[in-house]
Chain A
Amino acid sequence: MLVLTRKAGQSILIGKDIKIKIIGVSGNQVELGIEAPKDVLILREELIEKIKEFTKKSSERKITDSQIKNLKDVADLINK
């Protein structure tokens, strides 16, 4: 991993189109400003972890026979 040291107000450039600016630092928090083309996806990494966890949990459960009996409730809610 490339590691750079920057001061508040300074920036780094990634390729021609992406600029990341250090807006400010306070305690253990860093505020970043990002300029990038619209089609570049910018995410907090935790979001991916959260989605992955959710999907894993989903895959571990199954609609049981007793739940199938209650699906009418779900249909009622949908048709509202």
Chain B
Amino acid sequence: MKIKTKHFGEIEFPEGAIIEFPEGIIGYPDYKRFIIIEDKDFEPFKYLQSVDNPDFALPVIDPFLIRKDYLIVVLSEEHQKIGLKSLSKEEKWVAFCVVVIEKDIKKSIVNLKAPIIINTEERKGIQVIQLTDDYDVEEPLFSKEAIEKVEGGRR
């Protein structure tokens, strides 16, 4: 399959690469098919590229990279919609959080309130809302302290 994307030009990928989002993502219920674009150039970020709207791509990050203690708690019904019995280590799934890239990239912000969960075996995805107050929609990618430490160490 070939699509002409806004960010990456024309890309070609096998149908099998497509991840189905039965409910779309929050606010975009019609975007039901995505592919993951990976490139070591922009690691640790990846992109979720919409197949339904080639102009629509989201930079995302694995939340467990930036918050070692990140916890996803979903309503029982929600992960079942993508064929996962649970969110235990035995099940095959990954999580991504949507990032808004800022000019100083390490000061970007990330939506930890609504992670995207993907069943990697069945290639199905869903965006879920975390009910806890521990996470917000606009969270800093890294704490100020961590940034200062890294910048300080270089001086």
B-contacting residues of A (Cβ < 8 Å)?
A: 38-41, 43, 47-52, 54-59, 61-63, 67-68, 70-71, 73-78, 80
Provided the pairs A38-B75, A41-B75, A77-B106 are in contact, do residues A59 and B58 lie with their beta carbons within 8 angstroms?
Answer: yes
* B56 contacts A by Cβ under 8 Å: yes
B 84-126 to A, binary, CB cutoff 8 A, 1 in contact else 0: 0000000000000011110111100001011000000000000
Provided the pairs A73-B150, A74-B44 are in contact, do residues A50 and B137 lie with their beta carbons within 8 angstroms?
Answer: yes
- Please give me the residue from chain A that is nearest to B28 by CB atom: A55
Check B149 against A80 for contact (C-beta < 8 Å): yes
Check A58 against B100 for contact (C-beta < 8 Å): yes
- In the assembly, what is the distance between CA of A44 and CA of B101, in Å? 27
- In the assembly, what is the distance between CA of A78 and CA of B43, in Å? 11
* B7 contacts A by Cβ under 8 Å: yes
What are 5 A-to-B residue pairs whose CB atoms are below 8 Å? A56-B27, A77-B141, A77-B147, A80-B146, A80-B149
* B42 contacts A by Cβ under 8 Å: yes
A-contacting residues of B (Cβ < 8 Å)?
A: 7, 25-28, 41-45, 56-59, 65-66, 75-77, 98-101, 103-106, 111, 113-114, 129, 131, 137-138, 141-142, 146-147, 149-150
Which of A40, A58, A68, A75 is the one whose CB lies under 8 Å from B99? A58
Residues of chain A with a CB closer than 8 A to B58's CB: 55, 58-59
Residues of chain A with a CB closer than 8 A to B137's CB: 47, 50-51, 54
- In the assembly, what is the distance between CA of A54 and CA of B58, in Å? 11
- In the assembly, what is the distance between CA of A49 and CA of B150, in Å? 35
* Nearest chain A CB to B4 CB, angstrom units: 16
Residue of A41, A55, A56, A57 with highest tally of chain B CB at under 10 A: A55
